[in-house]
Amino acid sequence: MSCKKNREEALTIITRKIPPILFFFAGLCYYGKSGFLSYGDSRMKFSIKIITFVFILLSALIIAADRQKEGCTTAVITGTASVDGAPLLWKNRDTGVLSNKVIFVAEKPYSYIALVNAKETSGRFAYAGLNSTGFAIMNSVAYNLPEGGAEELKDLEGLIMADALRTCRTVEDFEQAVKKNLGPALGSWANFGVIDGAGNAVIFEVHNNGYKKYDAAAAPEKYLVNTNFARSGAQGMGDGYLRFERAAALFREIPGKKVSHHYILQKISRDFGHPLLKHPTIEDLRQVSKREPVWIYARDCITRPHTAAAVFFCGKKPGNNESTATFWVILGEPATSIAVPLWVEAGETPLPLYEGETAPICAEALRIKKMIRPFHEPDKKSYMLLTRLVNKEKTGFLPLLLETEREIFAETAKFLKTSHTKDEYAVFQDKMAQQALQVLKKLK
């Protein structure tokens, strides 16, 4: 998991995020300490201290501002709690990088499909993925895990997951890789959700100098909901408690207590409810005219201003050699896009999910997002116009998205009743992606 080239690439990306002015401050601090600036003058000593303080403060503010956009609402589900006996993973990805793609990476020993930032398509960074063995992984930042010192690497979770997809077959493989790479160069401050072909479903809370493992099979519900705090971290700290409460409540309402991709993607990924405030439901909105705009503050909802995609992994059924793992992806904020099924067996991903500077489906989702989130000012961009989604006049676009998605679910269920060749997987997933894209293009 510790690949020198990958670490060098990661450091290059990290340094690109730091403004040149901070390097200027850092240079002054360095040369002051090394003798280029004399410490003989007490005023110079004071100046160096001030410069050092400003450098640290600005660095902290930039990192904090960037991390505020990183949320993610997730769940790890055992086969016991799923509708068909297969382990499941779900993630709503919240990030400052709203343009995402889904790519196929031909690797050894294992090839994989990964959700990536649009400008990072080498496969060296992955923010969720599924490999050819049925091993799948995703993550969420855990803000209450121990944080390393200034000399330790950070924000390399994407690199860790790409390495895991390339090299891991089982949950145990991933755990051994984490153990082997603990230390200041690991670059982790996150919860990782992992499932494998044997049916295991586990959360690892990992920081540079340690980790804690939680098996979903040991939970009373046989699943674990997660946001941006670690169960092993400092109590009452972290982030995402409101989303956690809302997601946990919605999971408790699942019919028959059996989780499915249909319910998670249609109901929970797109949810704009709140555990403390009374937000309108879809049923409420059906009684409201579009001429009476309904706005909500959506920063603490499951679908948020910085939600870039939703992924759902239906793992392989344990003991069934014919079972196939499916990667469902809603590219774009779930309220503005449509789920598409993918398989590693296809050896590729559809063009609408990765072609061009901005993937076509993502481009449409970002266009539609402006209809419900039209503001860019800092104090307004978290507001969401619900009556553009659903209204009394039936001109909202959400019902069409949900109807199209249900059609894709039904067609996919029929398709998976029999085995298929590589080309058949590729043709079918491309057909579903094109169907989703054409519907999105119609929305005005």
Helices and strands in the chain: count of H runs, count of E runs: 11, 15
Residues 56, 59, 62: CA angle, nearest 5 degrees:
150
Over residues 393-444, the pLDDT tens digits come to: 999 999 999 999 999 999 999 999 999 999 999 999 999 999 999 999 999 9
Q: Please, which residues bridge with residue 329 across strands?
A: 311, 340
What are the structure tokens assigned to 27, written together?
């240079």
For the chain, how many residues are written?
444
By three-state DSSP, how is residue 167 classified?
Answer: helix
Write down the mean pLDDT value for the chain.
88
Write down the residue that tokens 């992955």 correspond to: 126
Is residue 157 within 8 Å of residue 190, measured between CB atoms?
yes
Q: Please, which residues bridge with residue 100 across strands?
A: 117
Over residues 162-213, the pLDDT tens digits come to: 999 999 999 999 999 999 999 999 999 999 999 999 999 999 999 999 999 9
Q: Measure the CA–CA gap between 31 and 53, rounded to whole angstroms.
A: 15
CA 34 to chain centre: 43
In the predicted model, what is the mean pLDDT of residues 127-143?
98
Residues 250, 252, 253: CA angle, nearest 5 degrees:
65
Over residues 351-406, the pLDDT tens digits come to: 999 999 999 999 999 999 999 999 999 999 999 999 999 999 999 999 999 999 99
Is residue 233 within 8 Å of residue 203, measured between CB atoms?
no
Buried-state track 340-366, b at ≥16 Cβ within 10 A, e below 16 = bbbbbbbebbbebbbeeebbbbbbbbb
Residue in 136, 194, 153, 149 with CA at minimum distance from that of residue 325: 136
By three-state DSSP, how is residue 215 classified?
Answer: strand
Written as one letter, the residue type at 255 is: P
Q: What residues contact 179, with CB distance under 8 A and at least 6 apart? A: 211
Residue in 336, 306, 309, 310 with CA at minimum distance from that of residue 397: 336
Cα-flanking dihedrals φ and ψ of residue 55, to 5°? -60, -50
Is residue 340 within 8 Å of residue 93, measured between CB atoms?
no
Task: Say if residue 126's pLDDT is above 80.
Answer: yes
Lowest mean pLDDT among 53-67, 168-182, 213-227, 331-345: 53-67
Is residue 437 within 8 Å of residue 336, measured between CB atoms?
no
Written as one letter, the residue type at 32 is: G
By three-state DSSP, how is residue 61 classified?
Answer: helix
Is residue 405 within 8 Å of residue 440, measured between CB atoms?
no
Alpha helices, DSSP H only, in 17-153? 20-34, 42-67
Is residue 136 within 8 Å of residue 129, measured between CB atoms?
yes
Q: Where in the chain do CATH 3.60.60.10 domains reside?
A: 68-442
Q: Measure the CA–CA gap between 200 and 50, rounded to whole angstroms.
A: 52
**CATH number 3.60.60.10 is the correct assignment for the domain at 68-442:** yes
Over residues 267-320, the pLDDT tens digits come to: 999 999 999 999 999 999 999 999 999 999 999 999 999 999 999 999 999 988
Query: Which is more confident, 61 or 198?
Result: 198
Provide the 10 A C-beta neighbour count for residue 50: 10
Q: Measure the CA–CA gap between 4 and 285, rounded to whole angstroms.
A: 53
First to last CA, the chain: 46
Cis peptide before 184 (omega within 30 of 0): no
pTM of the model: 0.86
Task: Say if residue 223's pLDDT is above 70.
Answer: yes
pLDDT of residue 60: 42
User: Would you say the C-alpha torsion 165, 168, 172, 177 has a positive or negative sign?
Assistant: negative
